[in-house]
Chain A
Amino acid sequence: MLKIGLSGVRGVVGPSMPPTMVMDFASAFGAFIDRKPVVVGRDTRIHSPMLRAACVSALLSSGCDVLDLGVCPTPLLQKAVRRRKAGGGVSITAGHNDVSWNALAFIGPDGSPLNPFQGEEVLDYYHLGRFERAAVDHLGRLIPVPTAETADFYFKELGAFIEAAAVRAARFRVVIDACAGAGAPFLVRFADTLGFDLIPLNDEPNGFFPHDPEPRPRNAAQCASVVRAAGAEAGFLLNSDAGRVSLVSETAEALSEEYTFPLVADSVLARCSGPVVTNNSTSRMIEDVARARRCPLIRTRVGPAPIFLALAQEDGILAGEGSGGVAVPAFQPAFDAFLTMGLVLETMAKTGQRLSALVDRLPRYHIVKEKVYCPASRIHGVISEIARMFRGRDVDTGDGIRVEDKQGWVQVRASGTEPMLRVVAEDRSRERAREKVDEILRSLERMIP
Chain B
Amino acid sequence: MKSATTLKISISGARGIIGDSLTPQLAAALAQAFGTYVGGGPVLVGRDARSSGIMLAEAVVSGLLAVGCRPVDVGILPIPSFLYLTKEVRAAGGIAVTASHNPREWNGLKFISRRGLYLTPQQTEEYLDIYHQGAFDFVAAGKFRTIEVLPRAADAHLRRLLNRFDGEAIRRRRIRVVLDCNNGAGAVLGPRFLRELGCDVVPLACDPTGEFVHPSEPTPENIAGVCRAVKTARADIGFVQDADADRLAIIDERGRPLGEEMTLVWAASRVLEKTKGSIVCNMSSTRALDDLAARHGVKIFRTRIGEVNVVEKVLAARPRAVIGGEGNGGVIDPEIHPCRDSFAAMGHVLDALAAGHKPVSALAGALPRYVLLKDRIEGSAERAHRLIRVLRKRYEDKGTVNLLDGLKVDFPDHWIHLRPSNTEPVIRVLAEAKTEIRARRALAALRGEIAAAWRKI
A in complex with B: yes
Residues of A within 8 A of B (CB): 12-15, 18-20, 22-24, 27, 45-47, 49-54, 56-58, 60-61, 99-102, 131, 133-136, 138-140, 142
Let me know if B51 and A136 touch, CB within 8 A.
yes
Let me know if A18 and B32 touch, CB within 8 A.
yes
Given contacts A14-B140, A18-B136, A136-B19, contact A61 B63 (CB under 8 A): no
Given contacts A18-B136, A23-B28, A135-B19, contact A100 B62 (CB under 8 A): no
In this assembly, does B404 line the interface, its C-beta being within 8 Å of a C-beta of chain A?
Answer: no
Closest to A20 in B: B25
Which 7 pairs across A and B sit closest by C-beta, in order of nearness?
Answer: A135-B19, A54-B62, A100-B141, A53-B62, A50-B65, A57-B58, A19-B62
In this assembly, does B336 line the interface, its C-beta being within 8 Å of a C-beta of chain A?
Answer: no
List chain A residues, Cβ under 8 A from B32.
18-19
- Listed by A's residue number, 15 A-B pairs whose Cβ atoms lie within 8 Å are A14-B139, A19-B66, A23-B28, A47-B144, A53-B147, A54-B24, A57-B28, A57-B59, A58-B24, A58-B59, A60-B55, A100-B140, A133-B23, A136-B51, A142-B58
List chain B residues, Cβ under 8 A from A142.
54-55, 58
Once the chains are docked, how many angstroms separate the CA of A433 from the CA of B454? 85
Let me know if A49 and B19 touch, CB within 8 A.
no
List chain B residues, Cβ under 8 A from A12.
141
Contact of B105 among A15, A24, A135 (CB under 8 A): A135
Once the chains are docked, how many angstroms separate the CA of A53 from the CA of B31? 13
Let me know if A135 and B18 touch, CB within 8 A.
yes
Closest to B21 in A: A133
Let me know if B66 and A133 touch, CB within 8 A.
no
Let me know if B146 and A49 touch, CB within 8 A.
yes
Let me know if A14 and B58 touch, CB within 8 A.
no
Closest to B24 in A: A57
List chain B residues, Cβ under 8 A from A23.
24-25, 28, 59, 62
Can you name 10 extra interface pairs (CB under 8 A) apart from A20-B28, A47-B141, A56-B58? A18-B66, A46-B141, A54-B62, A57-B27, A61-B55, A131-B23, A133-B18, A138-B19, A139-B18, A139-B19
Residues of B within 8 A of A (CB): 18-20, 23-25, 27-29, 32, 50-52, 54-56, 58-59, 61-63, 65-66, 104-105, 107, 136, 138-142, 144, 146-147
Once the chains are docked, how many angstroms separate the CA of A53 from the CA of B20? 20
Let me know if B138 and A99 touch, CB within 8 A.
no
Once the chains are docked, how many angstroms separate the CA of A345 from the CA of B139? 43
List chain B residues, Cβ under 8 A from A102.
141
Once the chains are docked, how many angstroms separate the CA of A138 from the CA of B52? 10
Closest to B139 in A: A14
Let me know if A61 and B24 touch, CB within 8 A.
yes
Once the chains are docked, how many angstroms separate the CA of A353 from the CA of B194? 73
List chain A residues, Cβ under 8 A from B107.
136
Let me know if B62 and A57 touch, CB within 8 A.
yes
Q: How far is the CB of A95 from chain B (nearest CB, A)?
A: 15
Given contacts A13-B141, A14-B140, contact A47 B65 (CB under 8 A): yes
Q: How far is the CB of B80 from chain A (nearest CB, A)?
A: 25
In the complex, how many residue pairs between chain A and chain B have their CB atoms under 8 Å apart? 123
List chain A residues, Cβ under 8 A from B19.
61, 133-136, 138-139
Q: How far is the CB of A92 from chain B (nearest CB, A)?
A: 11
Q: How far is the CB of B56 from chain A (nearest CB, A)?
A: 7
List chain A residues, Cβ under 8 A from B52.
136, 139
Once the chains are docked, how many angstroms separate the CA of A20 from the CA of B24? 8
Let me know if B141 and A99 touch, CB within 8 A.
yes
List chain B residues, Cβ under 8 A from A50.
61-62, 65-66, 144
Once the chains are docked, how many angstroms separate the CA of A131 from the CA of B50? 23
List chain A residues, Cβ under 8 A from B66.
18-19, 50
Once the chains are docked, how many angstroms separate the CA of A53 from the CA of B145? 14
Let me know if A49 and B147 touch, CB within 8 A.
yes
List chain A residues, Cβ under 8 A from B50.
136
Let me know if B28 and A19 touch, CB within 8 A.
yes
Q: How far is the CB of A187 from chain B (nearest CB, A)?
A: 23
List chain B residues, Cβ under 8 A from A136.
18-19, 50-52, 104-105, 107
List chain A residues, Cβ under 8 A from B23.
61, 131, 133
Once the chains are docked, how many angstroms separate the CA of A157 from the CA of B174? 60
List chain A residues, Cβ under 8 A from B27.
57
Once the chains are docked, how many angstroms separate the CA of A134 from the CA of B28? 18
Let me know if A20 and B147 touch, CB within 8 A.
no
Let me know if A46 and B24 touch, CB within 8 A.
no
Contact of B65 among A27, A53, A131 (CB under 8 A): A53
Q: How far is the CB of A189 from chain B (nearest CB, A)?
A: 25
Once the chains are docked, how many angstroms separate the CA of A99 from the CA of B146? 16
List chain B residues, Cβ under 8 A from A134.
18-19
List chain B residues, Cβ under 8 A from A101.
141
List chain B residues, Cβ under 8 A from A13.
140-141, 144
Q: How far is the CB of B33 from chain A (nearest CB, A)?
A: 12
Once the chains are docked, how many angstroms separate the CA of A107 from the CA of B56? 24
Q: How far is the CB of A31 from chain B (nearest CB, A)?
A: 13
Q: How far is the CB of A126 from chain B (nearest CB, A)?
A: 13
Q: How far is the CB of A40 from chain B (nearest CB, A)?
A: 11
Given contacts A14-B140, A46-B144, A100-B141, contact A53 B61 (CB under 8 A): yes
Which of B24, B55, B139 has most chain A Cβ within 10 Å? B24
Once the chains are docked, how many angstroms separate the CA of A13 from the CA of B140? 7
Once the chains are docked, how many angstroms separate the CA of A14 from the CA of B56? 21
Once the chains are docked, how many angstroms separate the CA of A46 from the CA of B142? 8
Which of B28, B58, B63, B139 has most chain A Cβ within 10 Å? B58
List chain A residues, Cβ under 8 A from B25.
20, 23-24, 27, 58
Closest to B29 in A: A20
List chain B residues, Cβ under 8 A from A139.
18-19, 51-52, 55
Let me know if B138 and A18 touch, CB within 8 A.
yes
Let me know if B141 and A14 touch, CB within 8 A.
yes
Once the chains are docked, how many angstroms separate the CA of A54 from the CA of B62? 5
Let me know if B62 and A22 touch, CB within 8 A.
yes
Let me know if B141 and A53 touch, CB within 8 A.
no
Closest to A131 in B: B23
Once the chains are docked, how many angstroms separate the CA of A52 from the CA of B119? 29
Once the chains are docked, how many angstroms separate the CA of A139 from the CA of B57? 14
Q: How far is the CB of A38 from chain B (nearest CB, A)?
A: 13
List chain A residues, Cβ under 8 A from B136.
15, 18
List chain A residues, Cβ under 8 A from B51.
136, 139
Let me know if A14 and B105 touch, CB within 8 A.
no
Once the chains are docked, how many angstroms separate the CA of A389 from the CA of B316? 80
Which of B27, B62, B136 has most chain A Cβ within 10 Å? B62
Let me know if A51 and B144 touch, CB within 8 A.
no
List chain A residues, Cβ under 8 A from B104.
136
Once the chains are docked, how many angstroms separate the CA of A51 from the CA of B28? 12
Once the chains are docked, how many angstroms separate the CA of A30 from the CA of B260? 44
